[in-house]
Amino acid sequence: MPPPRMNQPSSLQLQSVAEAFGKQGWHCEPIEGREVLESHFEAHHTHIRLHSQVFPQLNALSIVAESPFAPDQAHLPAAIELLMRANKQLTLGGFEFDFARQQLVFRITNLFERERFDADIVSSMVHCAIAEIDRLVPLLGILLKTSEDLLHDLSLPLLLEREDLLPPIPGLEGGEEEEL
């Protein structure tokens, strides 16, 4: 039996994810012994570590984006409520908080019909994960900077409606929508 390849993804599914990353010019590294690619992105508001994990038996891909997030005990309930309120607004994916590692997490999963995953769908999933983390980081920053005695006055629904902290959309000039 030949030794496993160290620098190449093992499954056809993971190879197709690596190819999709390559088409976008994104660097990724396979994690040895796993069906996972790791990559890093500098978003508008934060650094994001991203894992792309395939489940070959299901033809499934899960994209997990993470950013450090360490709320103190006083701010933790409001931070978790903000994440849950953000989740209610989502159609695809969801936010989590990894308490043990102090990480804000966004996870999105898709089932594919074929072993070779569609590069456009893979790229869209990555963009979605990065955009969602980057959207929430400044809102959580405001929450964490709010003094403990004023937390009860902070409206989380209104905080989620803020658009002034949204990262710019690539390809759009002056905030105007692109004509089709």
Gyration radius from the chain CA atoms: 18
pLDDT for 156 equals 96
Domain assignments of the chain as residue spans, ordered by start: 12-161
pLDDT < 50: residue spans in the chain: 1-6, 175-180
pLDDT for 166 equals 81
pLDDT for 134 equals 95
**Fold of the domain spanning 12-161:** Yope Regulator; Chain: A, (3.30.1460)
Tell me, what amino acid is at 120?
D
State the Cα–Cα distance between residues 53 and 85, nearest whole angstrom: 26
pLDDT for 175 equals 46
